Amino acid sequence: MACCFISRVDGLMDSENASNPKAFYASAANAAEKINEFVAKGQFIRVVSHLDADGLTAASIMAKSLYRLDALFRIRIEKQLDEDLVEELVAEGVSPIIFNDLGSGDLDLLKRRLSSNDIVVLDHHQPLGDTFPTLTQVNPHYHGFNGAQEISGSGVAYTVAKELNASNADLASLAVVGALGDSQDRNPKRELRSLNQTIVADGVEAGCLSVENDLTFYGRETRPVHKALAYTTNPFLPGLSGEEDKCLGFLVNLGIKLQNGGRWRAVNDLNADEKQKIFSEIAKLLSSKRLPDTVALRLIGAVYTLIQEDRGTYLRDAREYASLLNACGRMDKAGLGVSIGFGDRERALEEVQDVFTAYKKTLAEYMNWITTTPNVIDEHKNIYLVNGRGTINENMLGTITTILISSNILAKDKPLIALTSAENDMLKISGRATSTNIEKKLNLGTIFQEASAEFGGTGGGHDAAAGAQLHQKFADEFVQRIDQLVGSSLNEKE
């Protein structure tokens, strides 16, 4: 087995039709058969995966599966699939390539430049473009499932891994981490559903996962209660999120015992009455700021625990694990994230704490800038726009957009579009829709794909979350076009 980590961070389907799980699992079995053929022939397999938590867990799942097959492979982490990356892959020669959490939105590019290679795409984004003979693809949208809510990229990779060998069921917990990192628990109970729930059941049966209903504060196993509260950004809690001193004072005023025998207590150490008191006071605080009751209710939900990880470690709570991986990807340490998923519990786990601290500090600085600087959030007719050019790093844009759409600081129920500068005079754009927008059948993925293509760019994604990249000179025109398309979509659905 040979493996190395490389980090280069520089026609829609029938998702509205009846779902067909049998067909989805059959497609996974077909992909597994193809991968087994690569291994049997002794071919060198290139694995390309996205840099967020979902992509990193997908990469780790595939790496472990191939390792167990004694395969020759390499893991490569990318921020996007574009012409430059494809040209590099072409230059490396003809050998099988597995795309994880990437590829379905760029089928025409793959067909044009890589059709001489055997290509396996394991993705959950909306497919765009034509298939071709050397392509094997597993995507939930082809079988009536919504890839934004029902299974993530790591979930697709896990499903194929389990088809490779049933013993890979112990990788289910990684797929759960990836799904949570992809915010697929966006529902009132903060739980994973549909195909994701099947993966959860696999993890529980394999003895690597447990599930309970509790407070979902960040760092519930590892951090002092006041820090866990301060680190909670989903939902964003005005006056508490990112404010350790204020959180400390808030809890002291409630009479919560924060230390026991000189040791800081974690959320896991609190009894039911203490948790209820904290929740009730947060609900009152949010109500005083005229935020809806649903914001506080999002603090309670399904908690997924990786029970084979040591107690009190940063990898035991699945949401905390996902945040660590997101930090790695967004802070140019993607290889570190894959190493942790692959099983490194020594050097990598120590290093990731520094990365995560820097990541959270950066997020807090961006949020403070957005919420305190006049006119950063600009309201258009059908969307909100955040202009982060010159301030927000392109790798952080998606995370910032997700936090903002979840924060309830926007007065009206409109999609949020954020943009910032990227390399080579390009513009990076991220979009998020509200749950009400999605109920009205708004699809940002198709809107971003259409609008970016009009200006020579690339774009796509999910109904609720999308991204695009194009030249900066088209910034104003692109925003106007997005505003128009969103308005047309919502108005025709009313």
Q: Measured at the alpha carbon of residue 318, what is the angle toward residues 312 and 319, in degrees to the nearest 5?
A: 105
| CA-closest candidate to residue 62, choices 105, 28, 111, 20 | 28
Predicted pLDDT at 11: 36
CA–CA separation, 139 and 460 (whole Å): 15
Q: Which two tokens stand for residue 76?
A: 């490569």
CA dihedral 160, 162, 165, 168 (to 10 degrees): 120
Q: Hey, where are the domains in the chain?
A: 5-185, 214-368, 373-493
Largest CA distance in the chain: 67
Side chain identity at residue 446, one-letter code: T
Q: What single DSSP character describes residue 343?
A: T
SS3 percent helix, strand, coil of the chain, rounded to 5, is 50, 15, 35
- On the question of a common fold for 5-185 and 373-493, the answer reads no
Cβ pair 197, 281 in contact under 8 A: no
Q: How many CB atoms are located within 10 Å of the residue 413 CB?
A: 12
CA 46 and chain centroid, separation: 22
Cβ pair 283, 275 in contact under 8 A: no
The domain defined by 373-493 folds into Diaminopimelate Epimerase; Chain A, domain 1 (3.10.310)
Does domain 5-185 fall into CATH 3.30.470.10? no
Contacts of range 295-298, beta carbons closer than 8 Å, 24 or more positions apart = 295/235, 295/237, 295/408, 297/188, 298/188, 298/190, 298/216, 298/234, 298/235, 298/406
Side chain identity at residue 478, one-letter code: F
Contacts of range 448-452, beta carbons closer than 8 Å, 24 or more positions apart = 448/482, 449/105, 449/126, 449/128, 450/485, 451/478, 451/481, 451/482, 451/485, 452/478
**From the first residue on, what is the mean pLDDT of each consecutive set of 10 residues in the chain (494 residues)?**
40 59 98 98 97 97 98 95 94 96 95 96 94 97 95 98 98 98 90 98 98 91 92 84 92 96 92 96 92 87 95 90 94 94 86 88 90 91 95 93 83 92 93 90 93 92 91 96 94 63
Q: Is the dihedral of CA 177, 178, 180, 185 positive or negative?
A: negative
0.75 exceeded by the pTM? yes
Q: Provide the residue count of the chain.
A: 494
Q: What single DSSP character describes residue 126?
A: P
Task: For residue 235, say if its preceding peptide bond is cis, omega within 30 degrees of 0.
Answer: yes
CA–CA separation, 115 and 122 (whole Å): 16
Predicted pLDDT at 471: 95
CA–CA separation, 232 and 227 (whole Å): 9
